[in-house]
Structure 1
Amino acid sequence: MEHITFGQLPAVRITAPDGAVAVVTLYGAHLVSWVGADGGERMFMSERSALDGSRAIRGGVPVIFPQFAEQGSGMRHGFARVSNWRLLDNGVEDGAAWTEFALSEGDLAPAHAAAWPYQFALALRVTVRANELRMTFTVKNSGDAPFPFAAALHTYHLVPHLADVRIDGVEPGTLAIDDKLDKIYSAIGGAITLATPARVLTLEQEGFTDAVVWNPGAADTAALADMDDMEYQRFVCIEPARLAQDLLAPGTTWEGRYRIF
Structure 2
Amino acid sequence: MTITKTTYGKLPAIQINSPDGAQAIVTLYGAHLVSWKTRDGKERIFVSSQSSLDGSRAIRGGVPVIFPQFAERGDGMRHGFARVSHWREGASRTIGGDAYCEFDLDAGDLPPGIAAAWPYGFALTLRVTVGAESLQLSLDVRNTGNERFDFAAALHTYYLVEEGAGAKVTGLEATPLVVGDKIDRIYRHIGAPIGLNGMKLEQAGFRDAVLWNPGPADAAKLADLGDDEWRRFVCIEPATVDQMPLLPGETWSGRHTITA
Corresponding residue for 1:140? 142
Mapping of residues 210-221 of structure 1, within 5 Å: 210-221=208-219
Question: How far, CA to CA, are the matches of 1:162 and 1:73 in structure 2?
Answer: 40
Corresponding residue for 1:85? 87
Corresponding residue for 1:155? 157
Corresponding residue for 1:228? 226
Question: How far, CA to CA, are the matches of 1:178 and 1:100 in structure 2?
Answer: 35
Corresponding residue for 1:191? 193
Mapping of residues 235-254 of structure 1, within 5 Å: 235-254=233-252
Question: How far, CA to CA, are the matches of 2:93 and 2:79 in structure 1?
Answer: 30
Moved more, 136-145 or 161-170: 161-170
Corresponding residue for 1:65? 67
Question: How far, CA to CA, are the matches of 2:228 and 2:111 in structure 1?
Answer: 35
Structure 1: gaps of 5 or more residues: none
- The 1:162/1:138 distance shift into structure 2, 3 A limit, reads farther
Contact 1:61–1:153 (CA under 8 A) maintained in structure 2: yes
State the TM-score, normalizing by the size of structure 2. Answer: 0.97
Question: How far, CA to CA, are the matches of 2:167 and 2:95 in structure 1?
Answer: 34
Moved over 2 A (4+): 161-164
Contact 2:207–2:238 (CA under 8 A) maintained in structure 1: yes
1:244 Cα deviation from its structure 2 partner: 2.2
Correspondence for 2:253 among 231, 244, 255: 255
Contact 1:120–1:141 (CA under 8 A) maintained in structure 2: yes
Contact 1:162–1:235 (CA under 8 A) maintained in structure 2: no
Contact 1:163–1:178 (CA under 8 A) maintained in structure 2: no
Question: How far, CA to CA, are the matches of 2:105 and 2:172 in structure 1?
Answer: 31
Question: How far, CA to CA, are the matches of 1:239 and 1:171 in structure 2?
Answer: 15
State the TM-score, normalizing by the size of structure 1. Answer: 0.97
Contact 1:32–1:60 (CA under 8 A) maintained in structure 2: yes
Corresponding residue for 1:109? 111
Give the aligned CA root-mean-square deviation in angstroms.
Answer: 0.9
Question: How far, CA to CA, are the matches of 2:19 and 2:249 in structure 1?
Answer: 37
Instruction: State the one-letter code of the partner of 1:92.
Output: T
Contact 2:30–2:86 (CA under 8 A) maintained in structure 1: yes
Contact 2:180–2:231 (CA under 8 A) maintained in structure 1: no
Structure 2: gaps of 5 or more residues: none
Question: How far, CA to CA, are the matches of 2:242 and 2:57 in structure 1?
Answer: 26
Instruction: State the one-letter code of the partner of 1:177.
Output: V
Q: Residues 182-224 of structure 1: CA distance to partner in whole angstroms, max 9, x if unpaired?
A: 11100011100001xxxx1000000001000000000111110
Q: Residues 150-182 of structure 1: CA distance to partner in whole angstroms, max 9, x if unpaired?
A: 000000000014762111111121112221111
Question: How far, CA to CA, are the matches of 1:163 and 1:61 in structure 2?
Answer: 21
- The 1:190/1:162 distance shift into structure 2, 3 A limit, reads farther
Q: Residues 1-37 of structure 1: CA distance to partner in whole angstroms, max 9, x if unpaired?
A: 1000111000010101110000000000000000001
Overall identity of the aligned pairs, in %: 59
> Secondary structure, in 3 states, of the residue corresponding to 1:28?
coil
Contact 1:148–1:245 (CA under 8 A) maintained in structure 2: yes
